[in-house]
A = this chain, B = another copy of it.
Amino acid sequence: MHIHHINFVVEDLDEAIGRFERILGKPVDRRDSLPGRGALTAGFKLGRAWFVLVQPIDPEGVPGRHLAEHGEGFFLCSFGVDDLDQTSSRLRQAGVGLAGPPRQGLDNWRVQDLDPEYSLGEQFQITEEVENGD
């Protein structure tokens, strides 16, 4: 496993992009919309990992509820895996709770959330980059 992406919820995406462009010393690499999560996102590629800013546009989406409850800041950390289903099976066998079925993330990312009760109350997940994804 490696760190595939780490997401931070922000109130104002443009403003946050400016701050992290200054911190990271490079322009943002991509901007996307995640209608299923009710959010706009912006990603900086840092080595193999993505550093992602998430602005909720739907207060009832998961990122929107997170922002309302916790304010701006850390939202989730995703570990990259080669085979999501195989790793999900291993996790179940190891007693690690999974949360819901696999779902589509950004781009060709297929993600499986872990049960936050198992992991410090924070959102952890695993991501597979699916070949031939759209």
A39 close to B (CB within 8 Å): no
Per-position 1/0 for A11-27, Cβ under 8 A of B: 00000100110111110
Tell me if A2 and B46 are in contact (CB < 8 A): yes
Secondary structure at chain A's binding surface: helix, strand, loop or mixed?
mixed
Tell me if B48 and A124 are in contact (CB < 8 A): no
Q: How far is the CB of A4 from chain B (nearest CB, A)?
A: 9
- Oligomeric state, in number of copies? 2
Residues of A in contact with B (beta carbons under 8 Å apart): 1-3, 6, 8, 10, 16, 19-20, 22-26, 46-49, 51, 71-74, 77, 79, 87, 90-91, 94-96, 114, 118-122, 124
Closest chain B residue, CB of each to CB of A74: B74
